[in-house]
Structure 1
Amino acid sequence: MRIRPMAVSALLVAWIAPAAAFAQQASPNCPPGGWFCEESAPPSTTSAPPPALPPPTVTPPPSAPPTAPPATTVIIPGSKNPPPVVIYQQAPPPPPPVYVLRPPPTRAALPPPPPPPRQHWRRWGLNLRLQGVMMDNKQSQISSMGGAGIALRARPVPHFALDFGLDAIGGRDYLGNSRSEVPFTINAMVYANPRNIVQFYMLGGLGWSSARVEYDYSPSPMTGASTVEYPYRVEHYSYFGGQLGAGLEIRLSQPISLNIDLIGFIRGRTDSAAKDHPEFTDAQGRTTNSSGGGLFRAGLTFYW
């Protein structure tokens, strides 16, 4: 069954009218016929007005955040052949460094080099020498003596040697007489620097000598007559004395060296006729059997 609109309206009016009349009777503060009435408070017994209320705080509504424009979607129709798919692969990380710990090289303790071979010390030597006799300035104008010699040299240690020598010397002696001598000497030699090539040494020792002297008392050209009964006379003398000197030994090689030395000697006669027939007499008649001089020697020594 269909309800018409007019009938519905009539029913609503009939329902609302009694309700409005009831509301007007219930509120004494509403004028008659008023739809909306506010309830009024009963009059206050005090005469003081109520305090004024602060004005309400008006809070503006929060602004809405800006909205981004809507994204535009572009649809591209697909092609027949899709693009190639590119796959990016990250390169593998480099391998971690490998540290090889090597032990420090061990130094092999090398044995010390062997000592140099010890040179064989040559303890024996044979000396061959030439020599000349040195005299003072009062000698005769024809005085001159020289000779040669040989010596056996024993050198047990580098700093010391013993020299056993035999020499032959001849010529005109200090007074101009013809003289020949054969001296035998024993000398001790002390070397200062035996390890050097040039070695300095000092020597000293004892000596014995045998001499033959020819005296010529023939007539002189000035006087024309001899002053003695026998113009020619030969004498034999014996001597004992000592010598002292110094020299150099120059090593030419291991077995050969050159010797140069200077020696001074002093001696006296030891034969039986020394007391009765002295050898020297000066202008004042004084006699003596002592004599001295110097020797300059040079020679080669061969060691073994």
Structure 2
Amino acid sequence: MHRASLRSLLVFALALATVAVWPAAPAGAQRRVERVERRAPVERVRPAPARVRRYDRAPYRARYHYYGGYRTYDSFLFAPLVFPPVVAPDVVIVHESRDRPAPEPRAEARAPREGEVIAVRRAPRPRRFGLHLTLSGTLGDDVRMGGFVTAFRFRPIPLLALDLGAGIYGGRDYYNDPRAEIPITLDALVFLLPHSRFSPYVVAGVGVSYARVNRKIRTSSGPIDDYHDFTYAGGSLGAGLELRIARPFAINVEARGFLRTRIDDNRDVDPEFVGDDGRTTNTSGGGLVNLGMTFYF
């Protein structure tokens, strides 16, 4: 009994010493005691075609902590993970209002086919010239005159227009004498909203005017006609509004004031205005209200 116990202790000590000095096995494998005899090598198998690949390893001899036979791991199959393709969702256009239709797709330019005729609409050319007609009347309690002016209009750009015109006025002047005038004017108009149907504008102009006044002389036998000829030079400034009825036609209304003086040779000998105190002057001014129309071509 004593000898059996001693033999068991020796065997147990020998096993502990063998385990302590044995080299470490690869990670994840268990240790075991390797026998002297070796098994025949295992033939490798080539990978299978297609997506599923076949990986072969040589028989792996895992070591265990007990005395026993060999245990080998043969070839195994490995299938890579296949993820489904990512598909973007359809684009959905959301409108703020149901009444508003979706925008129409723009047509792509393409080359004309053989024998095909494509009609191209040209952009309307700018109308730079026009004929302007104005009906005018004076503003004043003691002056009652009216007339018309015909002008040729040149509009180089939508913002600016130039009018060169002539007309005729008739009526009674400050002294209630019959008067007729022929003005020649050059006006510049600046349109504040040139691309709008309603376009306000400012106007400034210069001009000369020829006038004939009939100052009748009263005699015992009756009035005698006494004609006087005056020549004036001056300028005007005003504002108006043009309404574009159509591309070739527009109407306008404006108000302007003018200031002028005589430039003829008789201005000092025969002054136009003589005051009660004997002072004289040849400078006059007034206001005009104009209603006009323009034909553009």
Q: Percent identity?
A: 39
CA distance in 1, matches of 2:201, 2:133: 18
Per-residue deviation, 1:217: 2.6
1:166-203 per-position Cα deviation (integer Å, ceiling 9, x unaligned): 11000001110100000001011100001110100001
Change (3 A) 1:104 1:116: farther
The 1-side partners of 2:152 and 2:90 are apart by 59
Gaps of 5+ in 2: 1-84, 92-104, 110-119
Identify the match of residue 130 of structure 2 among 125, 128, 132: 125
- The alpha-carbon distance between structure 1 residues 230 and 285, as it changes in their structure 2 partners (threshold 3 A), is farther
Matched, 1:216 2:216: yes
The equivalent of 1:251 in structure 2 is 244
Aligned to 2:193: 193
In the alignment, the residues of structure 2 paired with residue 109 and residue 125 of structure 1 have an alpha-carbon distance, to the nearest angstrom, of 38
1:194 partner SS = coil
Change (3 A) 1:116 1:195: farther
Q: How far apart are 1:231 and its partner, in Å? A: 3.9
Cα distance in 1 for residues equivalent to 2:180 and 2:188:
26
Which aligned segments of 4 or more residues in structure 1 are displaced greater than 6 angstroms? 103-109
Amino acid at match of 2:137: G
Match of 1:134 among 126, 139, 142: 139
- The one-letter code sitting in structure 2 at the alignment partner of 1:242 is G
Match of 1:266 in 2: 259
Q: Deviations over 1:62-116 (max 9, x none)?
A: xxxxxxxxxxxxxxxxxxxxxxxxxxxxxxxxxxxxxxx9x8899999648xx99
Where does residue 280 of structure 1 map in the other structure? 273
Residues 24-39 of structure 1 aligned to structure 2 (within 5 Å): none
Question: Does the residue aligned with 1:277 lie in a helix, a strand or coil?
Answer: coil
Q: Let me know the Cα RMSD of the aligned residues.
A: 2.9
- Secondary structure of 2:156 counterpart: strand
Superposition TM-score, scaled by structure 2 size: 0.59
Correspondence for 2:206: 206
Q: How does 1:1-304 map to 2 (within 5 A)?
A: 111=108, 118-135=123-140, 137=141, 139=142, 143-218=143-218, 231-304=224-297
**In structure 2, do the counterparts of structure 1 residues 159 and 213 end up closer, same or farther at CA, with 3 Å as the change threshold?**
same
User: In the aligned structure 2, how far is the partner of 1:251 from the partner of 1:299?
Assistant: 12
After superposition, the Cα gap between the structure-2 partners of 1:109 and 1:292, relative to the gap in structure 1 and judged at 3 Å, is closer
Which structure has the larger Rg? 1
Query: TM-score w.r.t. structure 1 length?
Result: 0.57
CA offsets 1:31-55 (integer angstroms, 9 cap, x no match): xxxxxxxxxxxxxxxxxxxxxxxxx
Can you list the C-alpha shifts for 1:225-277, whole angstroms capped at 9, x where unaligned?
A: 59xx9842100010000100111110011100001111110000000111111
In structure 2, give the amino acid aligned to 1:237: F
Residues 236, 259 of structure 2: 8 Å contact kept: yes
User: What is the distance in 1 between the residues matched to 2:285 and 2:227?
Assistant: 21
Shift of 1:149: 1.3
Work out the CA distance in 2 between the residues paired with 1:278 and 1:256.
Answer: 44
SS at structure 2 position matched to 1:218: strand
Distance 1:281 1:117, change over 3 A: same
| Residue identity in the other structure for 1:206 | V
Distance in 2 separating the partners of 1:109 and 1:274: 73
Cα distance in 2 for partners of 1:235, 1:249 equals: 38
Change (3 A) 1:109 1:148: closer
> Where does structure 1 lack aligned partners over 5 or more consecutive residues?
1-100, 220-224
Q: Give the Cα separation in 2 of the matches to 1:242 and 1:109.
A: 54
Distance in 1 between residues matched to 2:135 and 2:166, nearest whole Å: 12
Corresponding letter in the other structure for 1:125:
G
- Between the two proteins, the alignment pairs up a number of residues equal to 190
Residues 285 and 196 (structure 1), Cα distance of their counterparts in 2 relative to 1, 3 Å cut:
same
Q: What is the CA distance between 1:298 and its match in structure 2?
A: 0.7
**Which residue identity lines up with residue 120 of structure 1 in the other structure?**
R
Amino acid at match of 1:186: L
Note the C-alpha offset of 1:118: 3.4
Equivalence for 2:95: none
